[in-house]
Structure 1
């Protein structure tokens, strides 16, 4: 029921894009953000009308929020790790030869910025290109903690808050794989319109999105399980969405970029998170924190967690 509701609502929300101008629609971002809340709606339907657990907030991964030190630590990791993953994909892609990079001169970023300014009637850069690049890092922080966080939570309550713990009895590999396939296929209404992988055949774009969702979802899942709640995963998702586009800072001018091969959306960008997920599973770290019965508070949430 969860998968049917999440997928059905996603297609329903995206239907106006299919009937209209697709990715070129002026309302594309509105529909895309609205689609991000469909997994939470699906989780709410299942929790409130099917399972009806006593502690619904716990079933959705919203609690516990203690111990505070653990929560803060995994929130910090939720910000840092996606940034590292997104930026690590760039030199790796450049080394392999699929990412046309200019790390020193920022020539591509300069070219894009000058073109944008020219469209606004401005003839020269208002400040050095390095300063403009630094401002993009500030935008990353703003996007991660403010602009993207609520929509990312709209997805994470469903995917990692509710779904992932339900799949864990099958084992970590199956839980990571199945949740990745479900999450990747859920993106189909936008991917088949050309989102993320423009110019790529639809079937191949879907497979690429499943692979990306599996490796990145594995990282988000670890943050959710070890952090004790969905909040670290939500921040990681928000940060990932903000950091994934910053490859424009380091691309070479007049270059052609294939997102199927380069940046974090391409196969060279999956290497680092895939290695991290394998490492975590083999070390037994892909399992939820546990709490002794004596530490359960009046609201059903543990007052203390242990590894």
Structure 2
């Protein structure tokens, strides 16, 4: 039997697959284009009735596509990456299948855990009154929206149906969430990885939060059309961005981050389902992106760190590089 010399094909550490350097010109162009397109799409909301405009239902989904458009432009205009684009963005390959399925399941479940835990912690802190037995606020809303005389099932059944429908809601919301995640966790985070895992996660989350400014300043999400609303959004996006970014890196795939984003969007109104009648929850504190959620996410991320799932060796990385290696380096590698 012939012995093979494995020294010619050493096993490569995942960190060795990371891009060699940050393409700052492309990063600046991407951020400017994504945010500029977002402001352009949202412009009619500033000229008319704001979020009450009939156009809001069309413009908000369109805005979610702007990071994907910016990604396509930068990928081809700046040629970043030069090759292996699907792998660089996390679109492919869909293997190992077992790992991908595991992280898709986590992507579906973790946002539910975080958002429900946020509501429960907020209730325990006295920031919102909850009714976990009669679901009185939700019952009042259902009764107000139902035609007079329409028989309704028990409210507990309706609440159970809300949670049972979450997987379907997550999938539907993922269709638009893909437009964002292709840009944030697919391109920008990957391009920033030469800075290190944590800087890439935090910077991506901050840019993601600022990108929301044109609608936050019209009262979206927190009903705070001011700098406080923008800062709340940045904080929420940084916190969630670490979790989404970890899913992207740990799974070596974009799809868990897409599904997690879709799951989060499907959960936007859960605190309203759990609240007591007469409550108007302050979403800047107790909502899915509010201050309490930052603490819950910090605990979840802390557990992931304690389980040593943020170690460089556990994080997969794209094989495509941002630019071809210099010819001399390649030649040296072939002669080692």
Query: What TM-score comes out, normalization by structure 2 length?
Result: 0.81
Q: Report the equivalent of 1:164.
A: 189
Find the aligned partners of 1:15 and 1:201 in 2 and give their Cα distance. 15
Higher alpha-carbon deviation: 256-265 or 5-14: 256-265
3-state DSSP of counterpart to 2:285? coil
Find the aligned partners of 1:135 and 1:276 in 2 and give their Cα distance. 26
Q: 1:291: Cα distance to partner?
A: 9.2
Alignment partner for residue 219 of structure 1, among 243, 247, 253?
A: 243
Q: Report the equivalent of 1:153.
A: 178
Q: 1:76: Cα distance to partner?
A: 0.5
Alignment partner for residue 132 of structure 1, among 158, 161, 173?
A: 158
Task: Evaluate the alpha carbon distance shift between residue 153 and residue 286 of structure 1 in structure 2; reply closer, same or farther with a 3 A threshold.
Answer: farther
What do residues 259-289 of structure 1 show as CA deviations (whole Å, max 9, x unaligned)? Answer: 1111322211211112223443563526531
Q: Report the equivalent of 1:244.
A: 268
Q: Return 5+ residue gaps in structure 2 as ranges.
A: 1-28, 320-336
Matches within 5 A, 1:13-28: 13-28=41-56
Query: What TM-score comes out, normalization by structure 1 length?
Result: 0.89
3-state DSSP of counterpart to 2:134? coil
Q: 1:134: Cα distance to partner?
A: 1.6
2:32 matched to 1:4? yes
Q: Report the equivalent of 1:188.
A: 213
Contact persistence 1:280–1:286 (CA under 8 A): no
Find the aligned partners of 1:102 and 1:279 in 2 and give their Cα distance. 29
Q: Report the equivalent of 2:324.
A: none
Contact persistence 1:247–1:263 (CA under 8 A): yes
Q: Report the equivalent of 1:289.
A: 316
Find the aligned partners of 1:212 and 1:227 in 2 and give their Cα distance. 23
Find the aligned partners of 2:52 and 2:311 in 1 and give their Cα distance. 40
3-state DSSP of counterpart to 1:135? helix
3-state DSSP of counterpart to 1:261? helix
Q: Report the equivalent of 1:268.
A: 292
Task: Evaluate the alpha carbon distance shift between residue 280 and residue 164 of structure 1 in structure 2; reply closer, same or farther with a 3 A threshold.
Answer: farther
Find the aligned partners of 1:241 and 1:286 in 2 and give their Cα distance. 29
Q: Report the equivalent of 1:59.
A: 88
Contact persistence 1:225–1:286 (CA under 8 A): no
Q: Report the equivalent of 1:178.
A: 203
What do residues 140-176 of structure 1 show as CA deviations (whole Å, max 9, x unaligned)? Answer: 222111x211100110010001111222221233222
Higher alpha-carbon deviation: 232-241 or 160-169: 160-169
Q: 1:7: Cα distance to partner?
A: 0.4
The alignment of Structure 1 onto Structure 2 pairs a total of residues equal to 287
What do residues 244-266 of structure 1 show as CA deviations (whole Å, max 9, x unaligned)? Answer: 21222210001121111113222
Find the aligned partners of 1:291 and 1:9 in 2 and give their Cα distance. 27
Alignment partner for residue 257 of structure 1, among 274, 277, 281?
A: 281
Task: Evaluate the alpha carbon distance shift between residue 265 and residue 284 of structure 1 in structure 2; reply closer, same or farther with a 3 A threshold.
Answer: closer
Alignment partner for residue 83 of structure 1, among 81, 97, 112?
A: 112
2:137 matched to 1:113? no
Q: Return 5+ residue gaps in structure 1 as ranges.
A: 293-307
Find the aligned partners of 2:164 and 2:177 in 1 and give their Cα distance. 19
Q: Report the equivalent of 2:18.
A: none
